[in-house]
């Protein structure tokens, strides 16, 4: 009898340790699968590729995070992380194929360092893709679908109309109105961004006591300056906001200079090297690279001192550091990586380290609530920093 009992006991133990887990409702032991312990994060390269200084600095920063997490006994909520790098930059003709590869990557999120030219095409393909996508840029990318943000896309930059907000705020700070000191706005009709932003500028300055006059022109005409000439002649000084594009703004500058007027030209568009010969034009920018090199010095030092990670492109490293910090903050708050939980906390993240700034995210825009904006003037073929304003996204 004892032998039979021992045999039954042996068979039960044998079945317990060898039978499929599904046969037993009780806890079952099985070999751990690596994916259960490692959360993978997909990474889209910058347009310059991984071999560029920008690409190497991004990779170096992500490698630093990987070592920090995976060498910590507690990991990230007791998990390791691994970055999965897309090999080649996305180009226009591969956008649909690459969007499918991102969606099928089985990662918890995507960090996207592609340019806005690419992301304008990519975002609608990923906006409902059930995996969070964080853009390191996004200034020129419309994130809204029927007036609400795409649920799975987020951007580190404010949308382009922040420039108008920054320059209007700067005008309120420095402009002294008088009979000979006026503000004029010239806008291009039937050009979506320029007309929209010119009207935003009108609205923002309408709350002041400044004498503001607006002019509207067709962007296809080249006599923009003649329309403004009499106003400029009648005023000894003032500010002229130019919402007519880069070429027409330079034409206006030449006309103002020819009249020897003290009117300042303020351009609420993207600063570029074509303007470097146009002394005195004022710009606003949230990510002027020459200035940001100094903003991220402490981050560069931190990466080197802690793990001997050297980065040459400090601005690229700063963007990468901010995106990962944003993602990790959301994971820690949500205590899981389910996509719906993750996007909820991504949209409400706070105190994200970004150089000398800390960013809070707006759930209504999926962008920072505000960012520092650099006010610059062209002086002797270089950008001279004249002020830094903290500007809210519109």
**One fold for both 35-158+291-363 and 162-285+374-392?**
yes
Give the span between the Cα atoms of 275 and 294, in whole angstroms. 23
Model pTM score: 0.86
Written out in words, the top-level CATH class of the domain with range 162-285+374-392 is alpha beta
Domain regions of the chain by residue span: 35-158+291-363, 162-285+374-392
Per-residue pLDDT of the chain (394 residues; tens, 9 = 90+): 434 434 444 444 444 334 433 333 333 222 223 346 899 999 999 999 999 999 999 999 999 999 999 999 999 999 999 999 999 999 999 999 999 999 999 999 999 999 999 999 999 999 999 999 999 999 999 999 988 999 999 999 999 999 999 999 999 999 987 777 889 999 988 788 999 999 999 999 988 888 888 888 875 655 666 777 777 777 768 899 999 999 989 988 988 888 888 889 999 999 999 999 999 999 999 998 767 667 788 899 999 999 999 999 999 999 999 999 999 999 999 999 999 999 999 999 999 999 889 999 999 999 999 999 999 999 999 999 999 999 999 8
CATH 3.40.50.2300 fits 35-158+291-363, yes or no: yes
């Amino acid at each position: 009898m004892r032998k039979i009992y021992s045999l039954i006991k042996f068979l039960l133990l044998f079945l317990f340790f060898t039978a499929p887990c599904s046969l037993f409702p009780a806890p079952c032991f099985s070999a751990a699968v690596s994916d259960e312990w490692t959360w993978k994060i997909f990474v889209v390269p910058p347009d310059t590729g991984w071999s560029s200084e920008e690409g190497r600095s991004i990779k170096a920063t992500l490698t630093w995070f990987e070592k920090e997490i995976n060498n910590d006994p507690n990991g990230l909520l007791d998990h390791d992380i691994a970055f999965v790098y897309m090999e080649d930059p996305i180009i226009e003709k591969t956008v649909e194929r690459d969007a499918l590869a991102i969606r099928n990557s089985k990662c918890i999120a995507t960090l996207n360092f592609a340019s806005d030219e690419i992301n304008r095409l990519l975002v609608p393909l990923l906006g409902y893709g059930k995996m969070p996508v964080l853009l390191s840029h996004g200034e020129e990318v419309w994130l809204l679908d029927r007036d609400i943000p795409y649920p799975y896309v987020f951007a580190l930059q404010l949308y382009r109309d922040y420039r108008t907000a920054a320059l209007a705020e700067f005008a309120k700070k420095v402009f002294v109105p008088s009979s000979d000191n006026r503000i004029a706005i010239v806008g291009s009709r039937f050009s979506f961004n320029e007309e929209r932003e010119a009207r935003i500028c009108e609205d923002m300055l309408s709350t002041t006591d400044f004498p503001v006059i607006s002019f509207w022109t067709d962007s296809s005409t080249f006599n923009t300056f003649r329309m403004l000439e009499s106003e400029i002649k009648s005023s000894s000084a003032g500010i002229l906001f130019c919402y007519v594009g880069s070429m027409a703004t330079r034409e206006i500058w030449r006309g103002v200079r020819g009249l020897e007027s003290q009117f300042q030209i303020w351009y609420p568009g993207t600063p570029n090297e074509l303007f470097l010969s146009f002394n005195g034009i004022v710009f606003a920018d949230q990510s002027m690279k020459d200035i940001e090199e100094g903003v991220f010095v402490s981050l560069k030092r931190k990466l080197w001192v802690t793990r001997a990670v050297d980065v040459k492109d400090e601005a690229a490293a700063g963007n990468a550091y901010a995106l990962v910090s944003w993602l990790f903050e959301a994971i820690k708050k949500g205590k899981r990586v389910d996509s719906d939980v993750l996007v909820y906390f991504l949209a409400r993240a706070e105190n994200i380290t970004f150089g000398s700034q800390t960013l809070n995210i707006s759930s209504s825009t999926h962008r920072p609530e505000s960012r520092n904006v650099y006010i610059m003037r062209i002086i002797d073929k270089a950008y001279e920093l004249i002020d830094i304003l903290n500007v809210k996204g519109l």
